[in-house]
Amino acid sequence: MMKTDTLDQIAYALYKAERERTEVTKFVDQYPELTVETAYNIQDKLIELKCTYEETTISGLKLGLTSKAKQQMMGVHEPSYGVLLANMELNAKQPISLKSFIHPKIEPEIAFVFRQDLGGPIVTVAQVLEATDYVAPAMEIIDSRYLNFNFTLPDVIADNSSSSRYIVSSQKYAVNEVDLVNMGCIFTQNDEIFATSTAGSVMGHPARAIAWMANKLIARGQHIRAGDIVLSGALTGSATMYAGDNFTVSFDGMEALTVQVE
Ligand code: OOG
């Protein structure tokens, strides 16, 4: 069992690393007893710190490591989730400054926005789809606080699953308007294909990843709430962001979403 003080210290170290744009080394080296469950307790503490110090609120949740492409890239073979805060949202119309990041990467995602709570006791894929208000193309900027993005599953969970910023298209689609299994996805960097994928690359169906997370949350006394934005997890590997880059995600049947780096 790790002491409460130690969990507080880890949460604060991660908070400080983000604020000061410095990297930390993974905590499992120092605390091999760090479990996934304890890591989610650290994540809760980190979110509390951020809400208090940054005067922001929870806007939703994100999944991570839900596709084979991402799992292979990071060497972590199980999904994780993290919390989205209102101050992480960026507007696609405004160029993105790299000033506040450590080593940002960007990846294509599908956003689900909920109109009903997903309280359980057990959440199914059908219930996820039923409770979804709309889906929309999205991108997530991840910026691990760990040196060289080098982490294990508990480390990345403690670090709020590398979350940093997110961009959701203003174009909204009903779940039955798009094919959430076979819909193709083209992710481009500077108008050249970076990677291609399909919606089903996320655990066979992105709603399955969300149901997985919804059940994990319920086991911890939490749940997806009406109004929450939930990111599916990346459909492809992530692209390192450089000044002047542009990135576009284009899904079959949805309007493309583009962002420009300053
Ligand atoms: C972990 C977070 C991955 C995704 O969508 O797969 C993630 C990382 O790669 O740093 O957000």
Average pLDDT over residues 224-250: 98
Q: What is the Å distance from ligand 1's center to 226 Cα?
A: 24
Q: Say if residue 203's pLDDT is above 90.
A: yes
pTM of the predicted protein model: 0.98
Mean pLDDT over 168-191 rounds to: 98
What confidence category does residue 169 fall into, taking pLDDT thresholds of 50, 70 and 90?
very high
- Phi then psi dihedrals of residue 5, to 5 deg: -60, -40
φ and ψ at residue 155, rounded to 5 degrees: -60, -50
Instruction: Kindly indicate whether the ipTM for this predicted assembly is greater than 0.85, answering yes or no.
Output: yes
Q: Radius of gyration over alpha carbons of the chain, in Å?
A: 17
**10 Å Cβ neighbour count for 35?**
15
- Across 65-144, where does the E strand assignment appear? 80-85, 89-90, 105-114, 132-142
Using CB distances shorter than 6 Å, the residues near ligand 1 are 64-65, 70, 74, 107, 140, 142, 144, 149, 156, 161-162, 233-234
Q: Contact 166/202 with Cβ under 8 angstroms? A: no
CB 113 within 8 A of CB 138: no
CA of 38 to the centre of ligand 1 (A): 19
Q: How far apart are CA 237 and CA 65, in angstroms?
A: 10
pLDDT of residue 113: 98
Is the confidence at residue 101, as pLDDT, over 90? yes
> Which residue from 135, 138, 200, 226 is spatially nearest to 172, judged by alpha carbons?
135
Judged against a pLDDT cut of 90, whether residue 1 lies above it is answered with no
- CA 138–ligand 1 middle distance (angstroms): 14
pLDDT for position 11: 98
pLDDT at 102 over 90: yes
Average pLDDT over residues 140-162: 98
Query: Domains of the chain: which residue ranges?
Result: 4-260
Percentage of the chain beyond pLDDT 70 is 100
Closest CA to 164 of 248, 226, 104, 80: 104
Q: How confident is the model at residue 31 (pLDDT cuts 50, 70, 90)?
A: very high
Model confidence pLDDT, tens digit, residues 238-261: 999 999 999 999 999 999 999 999
Please determine, for residue 196, whether its predicted confidence score (pLDDT) is greater than 90: yes
**Contact present, 259 and 124 (Cβ < 8 Å):** no
Distance 161 CA to ligand 1 centre (A): 6
Instruction: Provide the pLDDT confidence category of residue 115 given band limits of 50, 70 and 90.
Output: very high
Average pLDDT over every residue of 166-192: 98
Q: Which helix (H) or strand (E) holds 240?
A: strand 239-240
Please tell me the predicted confidence (pLDDT) of residue 7.
98
Atom number in ligand 1 closest to CA 65: 6
Statement: residue 38 has pLDDT above 90: yes
Give per-residue pLDDT as tens, 44-73: 999 999 999 999 999 999 999 999 999 999
Q: How far apart are CA 130 and CA 133, in angstroms?
A: 8
Instruction: Tell me the average pLDDT of the chain.
Output: 98
Q: Which homologous superfamily is 4-260 in?
A: Fumarylacetoacetase-like, C-terminal domain (3.90.850.10)
pLDDT mean over 194-200: 98
Report the pLDDT averaged over residues 155-175.
Answer: 98
In terms of Cβ atoms closer than 10 Å to its own Cβ (0-12, 13-18, 19+), residue 234 is buried
Please write the tens of the pLDDT for every residue from 76-91.
999 999 999 999 999 9
Q: Which atom of ligand 1 is nearest to the CA of 149?
A: 10
